[in-house]
Structure 1
């Protein structure tokens, strides 16, 4: 029965090793795709930023053109109204002058005869100087009104031409705004498509982390699973202390002992590190609360992992004894000297005296 279990375990190990090779190859493919996706997303983000800047400038120019257009229309309407008022005033004065002239002619003919000339077309109540003064005043008002209007806007045809030019510019900017909006929609759809690919890649990373976590725990005869909830941004993992006893499963790491919790955390960090591209990995007191067996397994596992990942450097800091580790070309041990302490148990700093 033991031999059968041993064969079954050997087959499982082979199957897991094959799955690991396949997963490693798949991770490399996904890493390549990830780099391309990052480059593309970066380029898309830059294009979107440039498009937003252009859109902002166009909107600002559009608002400016609308304000200028409104000012031009208001001035044209004001000039038209003023011109109509002046024409009405002139027409009224002309009508009054014709009426006064008709009265003067009638008065002259009645008193001097039909053949009498009419040298002065001025009523008796008003003098000729009065009308000259009125005419000069009207001429002065006309001159002042023309001077209040800019020289390039006194001609209605010029103003209408400028208005048409502003409208053409406005339509052009509006067409550019539509094109930019279409480009933004296209870029948004592309981002959504790539986001779906990224979520698929994230799911694959989660599955690979689970596989690696389980492989690491089985080095100590345990098993477990990592649960990553990307929506709620939570992370939990369960550990089965004996992979042959389902009743030994622990759903919360708080129920584990200190050494078991340290080894489970180390297993998770190793599993997660396979999906990271950081060239350095530093672990401080990773073997805290571990017993000698767990420390030996953890050290062998970290050294093995460091030799597999040759393009990354592992830095392990521990106050424990490392006499069981054999130095090699790729394994260096730096031991710091013990601190000097006084008999009273306190340390004294040596200051230079003048």
Structure 2
């Protein structure tokens, strides 16, 4: 059984086999690559600056096919399909795609830069700071954003009103990012399924996505729909609110068997005092039969909002912002210092580029 993901941020270490490391900052078309964020799978991801001649500046993220794979038509098709899907989306809880194209025969996508952390990093940092992990109100604020983003994605229609049938297929802590200002964003549509013309359907013995967040029907090889994303959101909610991984079998096969065959642990068995109303929501999202789950992300969103009202849980976007800034205060300071440090290099690159044009 193989696990297949188009994510360049899937945890694989950067590979430099056969290639000398790039010297950064570096000009890449109209963008300046500042630093490499991750590399693995089919692509590498960079933090970049887009600067116009009128003083406009914007940080973006560049997803670029790995040089060793840039001649693979199937990978190019996957990247362009990701761009087509993402370009149709415009929602506060979904990462925005600005541009796609080719520079020096290398295909890329330019996306919104989210100055923040993925949920996996937040869970780890919170656990180190406090045995209680993520405060409940902030975990619920994050999952509300996930549900709102999924509701938009699943309901998205084309210009002619035809449902696009988008299924993300890779909802996981790594693909939910929370900005330091409290914005929640779903990222990475590299293996999304849609009615825009999938370049690669599921094949025998190939599973698309991260094993530990796959729905039982996905594991069984059945064709999946939007309810697979709801199951994955339930896993993320379980892990944020208990501080423990739900499916971690030691091997890929054991993880799949846990999802498909085992009884799932109750959140209250892991974390004493776990709210009964929240446990009910988690368990419904994690129903093995998709017919028994929430039938839409909108329905799950409404259930969480009702819990917040009934239990008077102090969910607040401003509160999430303050907590994120506090949790990552040191990292924010280092990032600001590092960004200031490359400004002079960027100016030098821009000056050289401009001089070259006027020769």
Q: Same fold (TM over 0.5)?
A: no
- Could you tell me the TM-score, scaled by structure 1's length? 0.19
Q: Look at both structures and tell me which one has the larger radius of gyration over its CA atoms.
A: 1
- Which fold has the larger relative contact order, with Cα–Cα distance below 8 Å and residues 6 or more apart in sequence? 2
- Could you tell me the TM-score, scaled by structure 2's length? 0.19
Q: Kindly indicate which of the two structures has a greater share of residues assigned to helix.
A: 1
